[in-house]
Structure formats: C-alpha cells, structure tokens
Structure 1
C-alpha cells in the first residue's frame, strides 16, 4: 500500500512536476485549449506500477493551471483513482493500450500542437528535416479514428506492437487529432519522470520541424528547391510526399566523409 509522510501527498514530486509541465506546454503553444493528455508510469516500494496522469478538462476548465493535488494517480486496468482531485480522461484507453503494447514504454504524451496538427489533418506523413528530430526517423500519420474511441486505442496499440523497440522513442500523428509521443528504454526500466521530460522535448522540437517542412514544401512549389533537404542531403520530393512515402534522413548524424565511405561500401 502506497503512503506519504504526514501532511504530504503520494508521489508529490512527480505530480508537482507534471502540473508545471501542463502550464509550460500551454505557454509554448504545444497544445491548445482542448488540452490533450499526458501520463507516465511510476513504481512504488513494493514494485507495483501506477500511472501519473493529467485529469480531463485540464485546459478548458482549469486553463492549464493545475495543482499537484489535481494530478491523478491511477491504478492500471482497474482505472481506480488512487489519489487526485480531478476526473479521469476518456483517453485512458489510449494510454493503457500503449503501455500494454510495449511494457518498456514509460511515458505517453498526446497534445494538439499547432504545426504538427497541420500535417496530421493532411493525412500525409510529415517530412523529417531538422537535425534535432532525426532520431524519430519517419513521422507517419495514422488512419482516422474518432478521439477517445476504442478503435483509436486499438489502432495505436497495433502500430506500437508492429514497430517494436522503435516505439521507445517515437511520434505518430493522429489524423485530425494531434500528436502521440512514446518514450522508454530497452532492457532497462526508465524513470517515468525522465521519460515524460524527453517527450516534452520531442513535441517542442517537432513543432519546429513541422513548420520548416511546410516551408520547404512551399519552396519546392515556388521552384526554389528541388526536394526536401536534411543535413545537406536531398531526402525526398513532393511526389514522394504525395505517394505517402516516409521522408527522413537515414544517414543522420554521419559526417560528409563518412557518408562517402558508406556510399562506396554500398556500391
């Protein structure tokens, strides 16, 4: 049984941190008034897992100003609220589906980030062009399913299962709905708080990428570019984009000389 010292709340540090994160994400326009929902896993002294999660209506009702006491501590699968003043979001089925599909995932961040939403509503994959986002590899848009629905949770769960360890640092675009970021570590239990912080970094940097990818697409239509470029290399074209091909730099992080060596080996 989890407990806290007299006068304190359980998982106080983690809940305080997530409350601050909600405000920060709102201030950075990494979500909108509809909010989204963020969660990460924690383990008590007896080895039992719980989900630390934002309550429903965190933005619309509370305008992103949450206290640690409003952040929920949820028992997985029973969905029993162990602690917290808020109500459970209907999107809990999505979060549980992700955690069940890959137990190494320790954090799930779903938001309505404006520039990523542009690509999500297009139904196209988002070209991954910036250096800071190449670790995500392809950024695909999933087929449309209604928000908070079981079909959406099942769709995401199936994709997470299919990509295996790539889900330990990954971002999907949920068609017309927003972004979904998953973070964890292979063969090692990652601290949930560290995982949700990494997810925050991903949504922030991917917002820049989404805007830059859009501008590269415009430059191609203007005739100023002949394709999408990343780290000095052409990685795709508008025709590739129309065909739904993943556009990212498979040689990301490799210097020019190393790229030449790699090409010579392949040839």
Structure 2
C-alpha cells in the first residue's frame, strides 16, 4: 500500500505544477458557468410552473458542476498516458513493474482527477460565493455530509475511469469509448442538467444507476435538496457500485492481459 500512496503523492505533486493551465481552466469554467446560469435563469423566469429545484439551489448546483468539472465524469476519458503506451508498445513496462496493475491504474486515475480539481475549484468558490450567487451549505452537517459523499464520488469516478482505461486492451486507439462514455455519463450523473429537473418517470432509473453518485448525490447534499439523513444510503450506493466496477475491471483486466500482444517498442 505504501508504494501506491507514494505514486499517488508523486503524481499529485507533478500535476499540481501546471498552475497556468489550471487558472486558464478556471477562467473557462467561470465563463461557461455564467452563461449556463443565465440560460437556466431565462427558462426559470419564462415559465409559470414551480420548478422542482428552487432558483437559488439551481445556481449553486450549476457553480458546483463548474468547480468540480475536472473531477466530473464528463472528462473521464481513458488515461492519455496509457493510451500512448498501448499504441507504441511501452505498456510492457507497466506489466514488468512489481505492482498490481489494476491498483496502479486506479491510483493514477484518482490523482488525474483530484489534482486539477484542487487547482480549479478554489478560485471558482471564491468568485462564485462573492459575486455570482453561489451559496454555502445550509448547515455544518450538510457540509460534512457533502465532503463524505465527495470522497465516495472520487472512488466511484476513479473506478469507472479505470474500467474505461482497461477497455483499451480491446481497441487500437480508444477514441470511440472516449467519445461515447463521457457524454452518456454526464447526462445520467447530473453534470449537464440537475437530475431533479428531469422527468419524474426517469427518477427511479436514475437513482438506481451508479452515475448519480458521481455528481448529483454530493451536490444535492451541498444545496440542501438531499437531507443529511440520506448520507448513509448515498454512501452505500456509491460503495456498492464502486465495488462492482472494481470487480468487473479486475475480471476484464485479467482476461485482457491473456490476449494482449505488444507491438512496437
């Protein structure tokens, strides 16, 4: 375990050096966040029906999706370094390491999501709360529940990303899965639109699928739409689907390594 912790810390330190890219990303998220909030407010003000998500909560939810955009499954493409290794044959070096390959890729995917999120989220929180209508959690309990659910979301997203990375063992480039999976998951997780605004007929399915635990579950705890009393079921849902993704990923990895043919080098 010490080796994977060292890998996580080393990769985190490396990724945290790209501060200019993170500031540029934060500026991009602020611009698109402002446009997104304005568009949603136009829909809110043009209708007469009472929306299932109050406007103030919608604004905060929208800014949360921008603050944690780098963590969200919308950007959960296969690990670019592993994709390059698959193409040029240097994946053989990964197989030669005295480490569990699944845990190694899981650790890398976790660091790949956490590092840019740390750099991007801080300026968005400061500017969003000061000038753009973003609200803090309604209580300390809601904030602590959000943090715990966010940790569950990190594990769930990392296990999903690792599963997508493993799919590279069956493809030449990974471009197909890199385009299909993120968009599909972004819609089902609440990254594109808060799930509360989707039709009621879809809610049971959305609550069952794993993707709600990646975005909607922690964010609704922050805004107060999901009560703190639902933290336990939320964490169980996240952990159960994380375990499913890990087991499926390990199974597919074992199958894929048996048929892997290394070319290039």
User: What's the TM-score once normalised by structure 1's chain length?
Assistant: 0.27
Bigger helix fraction: 2
Q: Which has the higher contact order (CA 8 A, sep 6+)?
A: 2
